[in-house]
Amino acid sequence: MDFFENIILKKQILGNQKLLRDKVSKHIAFGIDANFTIGTGVLIYSILQHNKGNMVFHILTDGIYDEDIQRFDSLTKKYTNISIIIYHVNPDKFTELPTFFTWSQAMYYRFLVSEILSSEIDVVLYLDS
């Protein structure tokens, strides 16, 4: 069985969907769990304060609160030059991998970025929150 089969349970697209096909958009990815959503939001906001071009943010997560999704959606309404895509990762795929007190299984989501995005975009920057 392919490890990547059914790895993404759901995908939510917030903001300007035209940017997904725009060849000049910059793509930035994050792998987080619910504990790092606020930090990711602060990081995205900081990036937007210092960059004016089109941006697509890819968030891979196994859990995110509805109010955090609403905050990200509000950000896409304030900044019309961005899109935020939330990929809901199947956590069952990672239960056998080791985790640590300060590192959840979300630390492995960075390895999904190339598998998920390589057919859609050529360059993506991965940032830790």
Question: Which domain CATH number covers 77?
Answer: 3.90.550.10
pLDDT score, position 98: 60
pLDDT block averages, 10 residues each, the chain of length 129:
79 92 91 91 95 94 94 95 95 71 73 84 89
How many structural domains is the chain composed of? Answer: 1
- Residue 92's pLDDT is 80
Give the up-direction half-sphere exposure of residue 81: CA atoms within 13 A in the CB hemisphere. 13
**Quick check: is 104 in a domain?**
yes
Task: Tell me the sheet residues that pair with 57.
Answer: 28, 84
Domain-embedded: residue 88:
yes
> What pLDDT sits at residue 99?
63
- Assess contact for 104 and 127: CB atoms under 8 A: no
- Write down the pTM of the prediction: 0.91
